[in-house]
Amino acid sequence: MNSATFERLIHEQQPHIQRVMRDLARRYHLAATEIDDFARQIERALERNDFELLRAYDRRSTWETYLTTVVTRLFFGFQSELWGQWRPSAAAQRLGPTAMLLEELISRDRLACNDAAQLMRTTYHVDLPRHRIEALARDLGLIEDGDLFDAVGSQPSGDLHAPSLQIALRDAMALLSADDRLLMTMRYVDHQPITRIAKALRNDPRPLQRRIEQAKEVLRTSLLTQGIAMEDVDALLLQAEVDANSPHRKWWMMVLARPSQ
């Protein structure tokens, strides 16, 4: 695809991009000037390096889902800039990149140490045992001795029926395109297997499964950003897979079926 094609694509997708931006701005209470700044940042990011972000599209999802993920991730970076430019401490710099990442996740992003350790291992692929990450947190003064779970940040509630989780999931679902909300509803509310969904939508099962996984990643990112503990997020998504093969509906499946406001 050439530059003119990408320019035309951005123009065609503007209503969807604007809708995602409005949802994020409303849910995170951005001021009017901040919304304008964010819009300009999105425009620059999509055009940067000869449309590098758009060229990374691998056709494993719809353009709407891909752009939702891109805009959401760009928003989290924009939100971090609103908090101020992050600078690692001298101690973290002496201990190296892993220590700087850990300090950033706990001190800037306000994750609990346990959540930060899991995020480092799963998302950032930090090949370091949990006890070594805990030791780094102690060396940086981020937690007290022997106290891994009481660091500042979100704490797991263990209650997947909590109203706060219902609200957070509803907000996260609003970030998905209408097509992907339908796909998630068919899979997790109607309990339809991927093969049957593919037949109904006249699509191949493998791309649909990838779209579901990408949609779940959008939900995961949004829930974590809203302060839901990683243990609760993981438990919720795991329960989704279990319940998809169960005849019993769970409360959060009703959230999936409910249209976003």
Extents of the domains making up the chain: 3-82, 90-139, 163-257
CA atoms within 13 A on the CB side of 232: 25
* pLDDT tens across the length of the chain (261 residues): 778 888 999 999 999 999 988 888 876 666 777 788 899 999 999 999 889 989 888 887 788 888 988 888 888 778 766 655 567 788 888 888 888 888 888 876 667 777 778 777 776 677 777 778 888 888 888 876 555 444 444 555 566 666 677 777 887 888 888 888 888 888 877 778 888 888 888 888 888 888 888 888 888 888 877 777 777 787 777 777 766 655 544 544 555 555 444
CA 71, 259, 179, 207 dihedral sign is: positive
d(CA 34, CA 25) in angstroms, rounded, equals: 9
Query: What tokens does 95 get?
Result: 């201990």
Report whether 165 contacts 157 (CB < 8 A).
yes
| Nearest CA among 239, 134, 76 for reference residue 120 | 134
d(CA 204, CA 156) in angstroms, rounded, equals: 37
Q: What is the pLDDT of residue 46?
A: 92
Residue 219 burial by Cβ neighbours in a 10 Å radius (0-12, 13-18, 19+)? buried
**DSSP-derived secondary structure letter, 59:** S
Say how far residue 70 (Cα) sits from the centre of its chain: 10
Report whether 159 contacts 239 (CB < 8 A).
no
**CA distances from residue 9 to 13, 153, 252 in whole angstroms, order as listed:** 6, 40, 35
Report whether 215 contacts 176 (CB < 8 A).
yes
Instruction: Provide the total of helices (H) and of strands (E) in the chain, helices listed first.
Output: 13, 0
Tell me the whole-structure pTM to 2 decimals.
Answer: 0.42
3-state secondary structure 151-194: CCCCCCCCCCCCHHHHHHHHHHHCCCCHHHHHHHHHHHCCCCCH
> Going by CATH, does the domain composed of 163-257 fall within 1.10.10?
yes
Query: What tokens does 244 get?
Result: 């998809």
Q: CA geometry: angle at 176 spanning 170 and 177, to 5°?
A: 130
| Nearest CA among 211, 215, 210, 213 for reference residue 176 | 215
